[in-house]
Structure 1
């Protein structure tokens, strides 16, 4: 069972599969980093822990249920010249949810943050927000896990390699989600960019569900270019603030 430990091919498969799982996890990290923004720091950390623990559990459970998972790709019905499977339905539902969620968050960012409803205390509102965030994260975990594991099937022969790759990838996702969430909170303009990413990711999931596969490389290249431009904007804004502060300090002397 552990013969793969001495196999160079197995280790190469582990590295490749881990890298692929990390790439597929980018969508998950962006979503988690955004939805925890409204929670206090302690609750945001708990939400990330619960959400990514659920992601890890779902991925491992799906690996142990490969025959059932592969069955999700079997055709259920045909429409518009395409055979739809449970995988397609899951992807379309998850994509539609991402688009709706990102659009709602954009509207809230422009019009103002949501406030507790009438007759709802701050503590109760915070608890509802926490439960809502965790539920949303777990829902999207399912979508991303199905897509991720189905893509991983066939890249490695040993179940242990696939499980180890998933554990490493989720660990890196957890390490990255905290700094990313903090960066988005510190630079509000990046939140709108991240929400635009979620709309883009949602559209690719819906398109994939309809049989129109868009290579992830194109999506991530566009995201990387947008992030570089936004980093330049953030750096320029910070420099302007320092110059203004320096002039004010010089004028007050």
Structure 2
């Protein structure tokens, strides 16, 4: 209790909390885009429930991981090394093959994201490719289970990345817990509006899938020790979203004039 009161009176702790909340919210965008795209493929009556389940699982996993910080930090220790490394840049190798469990999880998550995004892009470009629709009710239940399973897989990847970011920014567990809860609450509030927006704008779906491809590639690069500054990634996403927003505005004006 004394530690909590001491943190509450410390301006540096509040600054760390605000910074960490912003970082966690930004990292949560990737998770939220994936959940929105998966849930939008389900029948309308299942979408909100699956989004709630996916985000709730993300919160549970993050809090569970926070309770085992020593284990999480241990995931960064090398498991095996292939002995390859890139040329030095700013005193660090441009890539390396000393893989930790975190690296392997990031690579697996990145490959899964690229596979999933590519599959969804193919489906959007050629929707007639798979026309097998047995029993609608059975298919819906199966799709809900499949969507939740895929969300769990990506929740694990994003949760580990999120908690390692938190550990790198502060040593205080209460600050991490508050930041994670606030960030997941923001995700929960934004889930339905974002999901509906993506669903109502087909071109945004393709843009979001492009984001997932890029995020997958970045996860794989991170797994190989290639440190891509997150600012570049989110600046590119913001720029692309801005251009798409102008395109949507232009189309709307064209429809109004027509």
Bin for the TM-score computed over the shorter chain: over 0.9
Question: CA contact under 8 A between 1:21 and 1:148: conserved in structure 2?
Answer: yes
Q: Would you tell me which structure has more helix in proportion to its own residues?
A: 1
User: 2-side partners of 1:202 and 1:157: how far apart?
Assistant: 29
1:150 alignment partner, SS class: helix
Instruction: Give me the TM-score of the superposition, normalised by structure 1.
Output: 0.92
- 1:238 CA displacement: 1.1
User: 2-side partners of 1:141 and 1:113: how far apart?
Assistant: 30
User: 1-side partners of 2:59 and 2:73: how far apart?
Assistant: 19
User: 1-side partners of 2:111 and 2:221: how far apart?
Assistant: 10
- Counterpart among 162, 170, 174 of residue 148 in structure 1: 162
- 1:40 CA displacement: 2.4
- 1:33 CA displacement: 1.2
1:126 paired with 2:150, answer: no
User: 2-side partners of 1:129 and 1:154: how far apart?
Assistant: 37
- Counterpart among 2, 18, 30 of residue 33 in structure 2: 30
Match for residue 111 of structure 1?
A: 126
Matches within 5 A, 1:1-253: 1=1, 2-3=4-5, 4-79=7-82, 80-81=84-85, 82-112=97-127, 117=132, 120-244=134-258
Match for residue 248 of structure 1?
A: none
- 1:41 CA displacement: 2.7
Instruction: Give a deviation string over 1:117-151, Cα, whole Å, max 9, x none.
Output: 36x31000011111111111111010001011111
Computed over aligned residues only, the root mean square deviation of the Cα atoms, in angstroms, reads 1.4
- 1:114 CA displacement: 7.0
**What are structure 2's unaligned runs of at least 5 residues?**
86-96
Sort the Cα spacing of 1:57 and 1:114 in 2 relative to 1 into closer, same or farther, 3 A.
Answer: farther
**What are structure 1's unaligned runs of at least 5 residues?**
245-253
User: 1-side partners of 2:128 and 2:144: how far apart?
Assistant: 16
Instruction: Give me the TM-score of the superposition, normalised by structure 2.
Output: 0.90
User: 1-side partners of 2:135 and 2:199: how far apart?
Assistant: 24
Instruction: Give a deviation string over 1:190-230, Cα, whole Å, max 9, x none.
Output: 11111011000000000000011101110111111111110
- 1:178 CA displacement: 1.3
- 1:173 CA displacement: 1.0
